[in-house]
Structure 1
Amino acid sequence: MSLGFTPAVEIYGANAALLNERLLNWQHVDAAGIESDQLTLSIDLQGLEGLPDLGGKIGLRVGYLESGLVDKGEFVITRRTPTLFPLRLTLVATAAPFSAADQTGFKQRRSVSHGPTTLGALFRQLTSRHGFSPRVAPDLALIKIAHIDQSNETDMGFLTRLAYLHDAVAKPFNELYVLARRGQVKSLSGKILAPVMLSVTTNNHPGDNAFVSATLDETARAKYQGCKISWWDAAAGQERVEESGIAPFKTLRKRCQGADEARAAAEGEVRRMVRETLKVNIVCPGNPALGAEGLVVLDDTWPDFMRGRWSIDKVTTSGSRKDSYRCTIAATCLASAS
């Protein structure tokens, strides 16, 4: 994607004219399923009567005048924070349907038992009652669940825990709710993200609009190659242990409710340990093509130990009337990074 050099941002939806006219700065967080996407706007309140309504739906388009703007989706305003000095308003909007009325009980905590069922059926049941259209990856849909308890958890919190148990991601995208492996979420939601190539300029220095910085986290290297987790065998009246992978084993402290749950948790943890061998944090010029669940490719202009393909966990983009448009990327290495 060829980028321009004049950053541009546009808010659409509720109070769009007012927000665009008075926008001071903005931040968009695109996360890989662990948290809801979030948009934060800072608005000049000088001379303004009244405030934008809670529950209003707004959208974000961002990019460059020369290359065009990219739609980053819609958000619901969930928090308004006015300040007196300076006279400003901070609006926080989330991609998940956190409305004040909460007619479907999306924020309600529940304690209920589920099963026997499948992961796909349970996911569809819980998301459909909140008005979502569920999308489940085929390799996850038929996983059997003999019994699992939802213990004082919201449906969203419970679904996130279920996804984590199987090394997957559960995430809302406007009217859709997607359950998939990492890297598949955008495909199931209909948004295909092409890999983004990132280069370092020959004159890379702070203050330059093209400046790129990065921090490599080598403390994330896997110490274990296997996992052990216990479960209670009520019929035999004793604790049993499930193993996945090979020694050295990581022992998970939680106790599962059955052999199937324990086996899934152990296998999911091994997949996670293999994947999360190395992490990188990158600060670079804004690029609307970057998104959580996508790939960033560090080319030959990078040091050899950073080159290769990285899976994006989180992208935080921000901009203001004074500063240039920037991205902060948190990513996990794939096999080609060394």
Structure 2
Amino acid sequence: MFAALSDGLQRGRTEYPAPRWRVLLGDQDVTGKLAPRLVSLSITECRSEQADQLDITLSDHDGLLELPRRGVVVRVFLGWSDSRGMVDKGTFEVDEVEFSGPPDVITLRARSADMSNALRTRATRSFHKTTIKAIVETIAKAHKLTPVVGTFGGTKIAHIDQTDESDLAFLNRIGKRYDAVATIKEGKLLFLPIGKGDTASGKEMPTIELTRRDGDAIRYQVADRDSYTGVHASWQDKGKAKRRHVLAGVIGNAKRLRQLYASEEDALEAARAEWARLQRGTATLRFELAYGRPDLAPQTKVRMLGTKALISSTVWLLSRVTHKLDDGGLTTSCEGETADARKTDDDPSDGDLPTIEDGAE
């Protein structure tokens, strides 16, 4: 009886896809050599100037594994055995090697190979009467990268100084003013709006729908962020020798930006960007997927269906994604925020309000 039942279960068994991975060391495929020793492999992808990180932990139970040298370039693919296949997760340069035990293991840590040391070298220079696109193109050319600039490319910059800061930090300082992010992916220097979910090609990503059945755990959190109703920014009206103010949002408990901007346009852009950032951060979503999704990455937009109505109706923009492969399978952990808090310029609730002079508030 039990044998017949077992045979029936075997015949009706559902075949589940298995995790697949591939590691290239330079041009050499070393997957077969690493497979018997692999303890875990994880990739953490971040938004902004922080480099993506690869961690590979290998068993050295027999003491025969040599410590790899730093500086080698590793390329990783992750995916499944079904039609989804594997996703190229990019190249990484090993910059840290650790040996520990017992049990004896060797851990390799590598950062995104696109984040070259030259791009992180501090520099001092000035840009005058130019555009964001021209600045990005100048920096990209110096580092042999392809520039990709989003909707702010034509924005004019009267004058800006880069003072003892890296090119990437400098671009992200500009990005903060316009609610954009500068990063490097696939040999491209990207300067893209944060809330739009653009790809490395500059095109907007489609929204991916997930359900509770895809996940292991979920955590939604909402906060008042000090109950700010808007953001004030100040600018110097040189013609009338007065300091003036603009507002993004509505009058009330508005946050004040400390920097004094050179023009009304600059001040309003900065106020709008900070107001969008505050609104995005009001609600956050963290979730884990039992069946990993290597196609998910920062700037991906997702919907989490089958949850509370407020969560399911929101489009979430991923800001941090971790893919992990170990004896528990291939899993993905994500952190996200509301996708696009920046309103359109013709929305009357945005900060296109009359300039407020000192003493007139």
Q: TM-score, normalised by structure 1?
A: 0.83
Residue 216 (structure 1) aligned with residue 225 (structure 2)? no
Cα displacement (A) at 1:334:
4.4
The secondary structure found in structure 1 opposite 2:271 is helix
Q: Percent identity?
A: 24
- For 1:283, which of 288, 295, 313 is the aligned residue? 288
Residue 42 (structure 1) aligned with residue 42 (structure 2)? no
Residue 311 (structure 1) aligned with residue 353 (structure 2)? no
> Aligned equivalents of 2:224 and 2:88: distance in 1?
34
Superposed CA offset, 1:216-249 (max 9, x none): 1111568223211234567877654333332125
Larger Rg: 2
> Aligned equivalents of 2:280 and 2:17: distance in 1?
36
Residue 152 (structure 1) aligned with residue 156 (structure 2)? no
Which shows bigger deviation, 160-169 or 26-35?
A: 26-35
> Aligned equivalents of 1:231 and 1:49: distance in 2?
61
Which shows bigger deviation, 252-261 or 70-79?
A: 252-261
> Aligned equivalents of 1:213 and 1:79: distance in 2?
32
The secondary structure found in structure 2 opposite 1:115 is strand
Do the aligned partners of residues 142 and 161 (structure 1) sit closer, same or farther apart at CA in structure 2, a change above 3 Å counting?
same
What corresponds to 1:206 in structure 2?
none
Do the aligned partners of residues 255 and 294 (structure 1) sit closer, same or farther apart at CA in structure 2, a change above 3 Å counting?
same
Cα displacement (A) at 1:318:
1.0
- For 2:122, which of 80, 99, 109 is the aligned residue? 109
- Measured on the aligned residues, the alpha-carbon RMSD in Å equals 2.9
Q: AA paired with 1:292?
A: P
Cα displacement (A) at 1:180:
1.1
Residue 32 (structure 1) aligned with residue 44 (structure 2)? no
Residue 177 (structure 1) aligned with residue 154 (structure 2)? no
> Aligned equivalents of 2:16 and 2:79: distance in 1?
8
Do the aligned partners of residues 195 and 115 (structure 1) sit closer, same or farther apart at CA in structure 2, a change above 3 Å counting?
same
- For 1:267, which of 272, 276, 283 is the aligned residue? 272
Cα displacement (A) at 1:122:
0.7
Cα displacement (A) at 1:151:
2.6
What corresponds to 1:325 in structure 2?
330
Cα displacement (A) at 1:291:
1.9
Do the aligned partners of residues 127 and 222 (structure 1) sit closer, same or farther apart at CA in structure 2, a change above 3 Å counting?
farther
What corresponds to 1:123 in structure 2?
136
Cα displacement (A) at 1:134:
0.6
Cα displacement (A) at 1:27:
1.2
What corresponds to 2:18 in structure 1?
6
> Aligned equivalents of 1:191 and 1:145: distance in 2?
24
Is there any run of 5+ residues in structure 1 with no aligned partner, and where? Answer: 202-209
Q: Does structure 1 retain, via aligned residues, the 8 Å contact 2:197–2:205?
A: no
Q: Does structure 2 retain, via aligned residues, the 8 Å contact 1:10–1:20?
A: no
Q: AA paired with 1:144?
A: K
Do the aligned partners of residues 190 and 167 (structure 1) sit closer, same or farther apart at CA in structure 2, a change above 3 Å counting?
closer
Do the aligned partners of residues 39 and 186 (structure 1) sit closer, same or farther apart at CA in structure 2, a change above 3 Å counting?
farther
Q: AA paired with 1:29?
A: T
Which shows bigger deviation, 61-70 or 245-254?
A: 245-254
Do the aligned partners of residues 81 and 232 (structure 1) sit closer, same or farther apart at CA in structure 2, a change above 3 Å counting?
farther
Cα displacement (A) at 1:24:
1.4
Do the aligned partners of residues 4 and 75 (structure 1) sit closer, same or farther apart at CA in structure 2, a change above 3 Å counting?
farther
> Aligned equivalents of 2:284 and 2:237: distance in 1?
38
> Aligned equivalents of 1:126 and 1:88: distance in 2?
41
Q: Does structure 1 retain, via aligned residues, the 8 Å contact 2:23–2:29?
A: yes
Superposed CA offset, 1:155-183 (max 9, x none): 11111221122101211012111111135
> Aligned equivalents of 1:257 and 1:96: distance in 2?
36
The secondary structure found in structure 2 opposite 1:97 is coil
> Aligned equivalents of 2:329 and 2:220: distance in 1?
24
Do the aligned partners of residues 82 and 200 (structure 1) sit closer, same or farther apart at CA in structure 2, a change above 3 Å counting?
same
> Aligned equivalents of 1:253 and 1:120: distance in 2?
25
Cα displacement (A) at 1:23:
2.3
Q: AA paired with 2:230?
A: G
Residue 298 (structure 1) aligned with residue 304 (structure 2)? yes
Q: TM-score, normalised by structure 2?
A: 0.78
Residue 54 (structure 1) aligned with residue 93 (structure 2)? no
Do the aligned partners of residues 95 and 335 (structure 1) sit closer, same or farther apart at CA in structure 2, a change above 3 Å counting?
closer
- For 1:92, which of 92, 104, 109 is the aligned residue? 109
Q: Does structure 1 retain, via aligned residues, the 8 Å contact 2:23–2:76?
A: yes
Do the aligned partners of residues 190 and 141 (structure 1) sit closer, same or farther apart at CA in structure 2, a change above 3 Å counting?
closer
What corresponds to 2:359 in structure 1?
none
Which shows bigger deviation, 286-295 or 182-191?
A: 182-191
Cα displacement (A) at 1:196:
2.7
> Aligned equivalents of 2:235 and 2:191: distance in 1?
26
How many residues align? The count is 319
Residue 80 (structure 1) aligned with residue 80 (structure 2)? no
